[in-house]
Amino acid sequence: MTTGLLIVQILNGLQLGILLFLVAAGLTLVFGVMDFINLAHGVQYMLGAYLAVTFIGLTGSFLLGLALALAAALLIGLALEFLIFRHLYERDHLDQVLATFGLILLLNQAVKMVWGAAPLSVAVPELLSGNVRLLDGILYPTYRFVLIGAGLAVAALLWFIVEKTRTGMLLRAGASNAPMVSALGVDIRKLFMIVFAFGTMLAGFAGVMAAPILSVEPGMGDNILILAFVVIVVGGIGSIRGAFVGALIVGLVDTLGRSFMNDLLRLFMSAPSARATGAALSSMLIYLVMATVLFVRPEGLLPAKGRS
């Protein structure tokens, strides 16, 4: 285990954490403010990636493609909200889970029909296709740095909106006690629309940004959805700060666990058994973290104020 490798893996962990944060931020708001479990949130991430494939291919420009893909992702999200989700807000959680699971089936398959089942890829924009030299002989792709930077910028913007604007104040109030906000004369439906549009855009953005570094394939949203749920319960439901901290914890623990668990176990195990145990243990690691957090603090690390 060299310092260089450690730095690279920490950066990889940050990058996974940033992607998770973008998906989890929308999920935690929708869950916290609207009390709506949206399993189809992962599908928005997948749609973002597919739309990026199409629009970047059509326009030949990453930025233009990004803008168009975001707009399209927002439109699809709002259409779903209007047609389906708003009829589910009053229903119990199990109904919401069932209906949004149906949507996952539909959209995963629809994506397969439109774009094919084979994994697609997006070229890294030319300007960012180089590497950055970290130490002697250790290079890290520029695009991944940009991704981390863009994610942090979005997180900062989100922090500003949530903490410093009137809409953000309503969001926070909604996450603490939505019926009370409604009773005070705020148009809760409009607030819900804003929250939902917000979440959709963020998940779509994560999808577009991930498209050049991951393979774009049907079902890519399902695994990130489960990780995003882990993030929001670790962080505390309805809390953006919690989602940020939770996402970084999950991203770093998962990445570092996968890279170094093997070496760690080798210290007191034979090579083959270390490999087998390491593989199992490193995959389990984030779930162990989650179970521990939930056991000690069932409301999460940084719960939304006034919720517990």
Partner 1 sequence: MTVEASTQAAPPRPAAPARHRPVFVIALFLALAAVPLAVTLGLPAHWLTLVTRAMIFAIAALSLDLILGVGGLVSFGHAAFIGIGAYATGIMITEGQTEALIILPVLLAACAVFAAVTGAVSLRTRGVAFIMITLAFGQMAYFLAQALSAYGGDDGLTLYEQSTLAGFEPFANRTTFFYVVLAVLAFCHVLVRALVASRFGRVLRAARENATRVTMTGFDVGRVRLVAYVISGMIAGLSGFLLANQTEFVSPAFISWQRSGELIFMVVLGGVGSLHGAILGALAFLIAEDVLSGLTEHWKVIFGPMIVLFVLFTRGGLVGLLGRLTGRRDG
- Residue numbers of the site for partner 1 (CB under 8 A)? 35, 84, 87-88, 91-95, 97-99, 101-110, 112-113, 177-178, 222, 226, 229-230, 233, 237, 276-277, 279-280, 283-284, 287-288, 290-291, 294-295, 298-299, 307-308
> How many whole angstroms separate alpha carbon 118 and alpha carbon 144?
24
Q: Is 134 helix (H, G, I), strand (E, B) or coil?
A: strand
| Least separation in angstroms between CB 41 and partner 1 | 15
Q: Are 200 and 74 in contact (CB under 8 A)?
A: yes
Nearer to partner 1, 157 or 280 (CB): 280
| Least separation in angstroms between CB 297 and partner 1 | 9
| Least separation in angstroms between CB 96 and partner 1 | 8
Nearer to partner 1, 102 or 130 (CB): 102
Q: Is 139 helix (H, G, I), strand (E, B) or coil?
A: strand
How crowded is residue 134: how many other Cβ atoms within 10 Å of its Cβ? 15
> How many whole angstroms separate alpha carbon 115 and alpha carbon 45?
15
Nearer to partner 1, 59 or 177 (CB): 177
> How many whole angstroms separate alpha carbon 18 and alpha carbon 41?
16
| Least separation in angstroms between CB 84 and partner 1 | 6
Nearer to partner 1, 99 or 147 (CB): 99
CB-count burial class (<10 Å; 0-12, 13-18, 19+) for 291: exposed
| Least separation in angstroms between CB 274 and partner 1 | 12
| Least separation in angstroms between CB 132 and partner 1 | 34
Nearer to partner 1, 230 or 248 (CB): 230
- Residues of the chain by 3-state class (helix, strand, coil), percent to 5: 75, 5, 20
DSSP secondary structure string for all residues of 112-127:
HHHH-SS-B--PPPGG
Nearer to partner 1, 73 or 104 (CB): 104
